[in-house]
Structure formats: structure tokens, C-alpha cells
Amino acid sequence: MNDFKEKINGKKILVTGGAGFIGSNLCEELLNLGATVACLDNFSTGKRENLEAIKNNPDFILIEGDIRDLVTCKKACESQDFVLHEAALGSVPRSIHDPITTNDVNVSGFLNMLVAARDSGVQRFVYAASSSTYGDSETLPKVEDQIGKPLSPYAITKYVNELYADVFKRTYGFNTIGLRYFNVFGRKQNPDGAYAAVIPKFVMQLMNHKSPVINGGGEYSRDFTYIDNVILMNLLALTSENEAAQNEVYNTAFGERTTLNDLVKYLKEYLSEFDPEIANVEVIYGDYRKGDVPHSLASIDKAKNLLDYNPRFSMEDGLKEAVKWYWENLR
């Protein structure tokens, strides 16, 4: 990603949620490109080990704090050129279990960050939006300006983020770009806990010769998106000089869908290269999960046209990389 070095080198960039899966990968890449990086995280879901490789880098600053506190947000935004806002409480099931906390973090925290970034003169604010915003829309592929009704408290919060971002442009002239992430996976994604994402969870189960549990019949499908494609989109959003690309929301995905049944098939195939016994692990089918969208597939035409996005990893290529990382680091 050397193309970005000239535009990123020497910039001061705040990454909220920088100890999380996506945030920590962004921090590493930005440091590689010569930026001074500040990470704001309260470690509610982020992990210190995600920062192990960069914690002693002289261009890295760790700010322990919560985006629900406006004073903390304002201090973190001081003298920053750009903000990558990744901090959020993810997970549809978590939001159904505890909608109030999800709203506090994802809506009030987001608004705090918008205000703090605006008041500090931040040049560009790129934030993590979500494919959950498409809700009950059955249209495939998902196109940015055609959404349905949200199906979970989490989805509501991420849609409200987009509405606030739009209002801040109209009212204050403050520039934002939203990236609707589609089922991101890859190195450093947490496999543990009740709200773990499906790929690391299944990988860990298979490595331990335990049967993965698929919700429903396994024919639900997702546009699984490798972390390096997401990093690329964030860098494009930060550095794009195309005026038409500003104050927009973009699907951030590969643009193909994979069923859960096919996902498990690929995982067993790739993991069997390390441990042949994994090929024999049985799959268990459970109940459908509340709030789940049956199918998800992104159109990435808008990102291609306005941001020159060209994803570098297919789902299968990314899955091979991810499996290798999990085998080497978490076995």
C-alpha cells in the first residue's frame, strides 16, 4: 500500500477503538505509512495484545478512555488531522440483550466524537458504518441508497450514525465518510465470548475438533470481507481528493456471497492442511437467530467509481490468510 505513503506520512491520525480487531490493524498500517497514531480505547472489547507489536513505537500514543465521555473525546481529537472512528459495541445479539448500552456507545459516543472532531478542526472523519443498516430490504445486491427497516437495536444505532453524519455536513459543513462494513474477518479477530464473529469462532472450534453450530439450515449467505480490503477502503476514504466522494456512505465488501455451509466447507478444507483430522469434524445445525438478515451481498460499484476501490483479496484468498494466522497464533 505504498501508494498512500505520500499522503499519510507525517499526518496525525486518531483511531477510536484502536485496540479492537479492525482498529488495531488500521493502527499498524497507518504507522507503516509514516503517520503519528493515537489510539482511543476503553478495552471493553478491545485487547491489549492487539497493540503488542506497536505499543513501543515512538509514533504511537495510547489514550485509555471512553467515547461516552465528551471531555475525553475532545482531548483525543486535539491537533489531529484525521479521525478513523471504529469504536462501537458490535453484535446484533448483544444489542438485543442490552439495547441501552449499545445505544449509549454507538449513538451518544458517536455524537461526542463528531462534536469533538468538528470543534478540533479535524480535516476528515471516516467512520465504521454497517451492512445491518439494510435491515429487511430483500434487494440483492445491496445498493447504498436503498435500505429497509432495521431488524435490531444495533442496526438502528448504525443508521442513526449515518443520519447524524449527514446533518453535521448540512449544518456545520463538517466532512465525513461512512463505510458500511460487510462481515469483516481476518487476523486478530477475537474468537472468544458469547458475541464472537462466526469465522474465528468456527476456526477455533474446528482446530479443537469441536462441532461448529450453524444457526438455521446453513443457506443464509454473507459477503465475507477480508481485513486488508477494509484497510484499503479506509485509506482511500482518508486520502481521496475527489470532491464527489465526500460526505457519502460506501459499501465495504468484496462483492460476492458465501453460504454458511460453504464457509464451513472452506474452513475444513484449509485447516485440514495443518491437521487432517479436521476434515472429519461434524457440523451441528441449531435454531435461526433473532435479528439475522437471511442474505447479504454488496454492490461495490459506488466505491469503485468514486474512490477507485479495487478489493485485493477474495473471500477464499482472505480465508486462507486468516486460517494460517489463527493456526500460528492461537492454536
- What is the arrangement of strands in the sheet containing 176-181, beginning at the earlier edge strand? 60-64, 36-41, 12-16, 82-85, 124-130, 176-181, 249-252
* Marked catalytic residue, from 127, 134, 154, 309: 154
Contact indicator for 39, 27 with CB cutoff of 8 Å:
yes
Torsional sign, CA 254, 174, 134, 220: positive
Task: Give the separation between CA 188 and CA 25, rounded to whole angstroms.
Answer: 8
Q: Is 250 a catalytic residue?
A: no
∠ CA 269-274-276 to the nearest 5 degrees?
65
Contact indicator for 123, 82 with CB cutoff of 8 Å:
yes
The answer, yes or no, to whether the previous bond of 212 is cis (omega within 30 of 0) is: no
Residues near 331 by Cβ (< 8 Å), separated by ≥ 6?
Answer: 207
Query: Alpha helix (H) ranges present in 15-104?
Result: 21-32, 70-77, 92-97, 99-103
Write out the catalytic residue numbers: 154
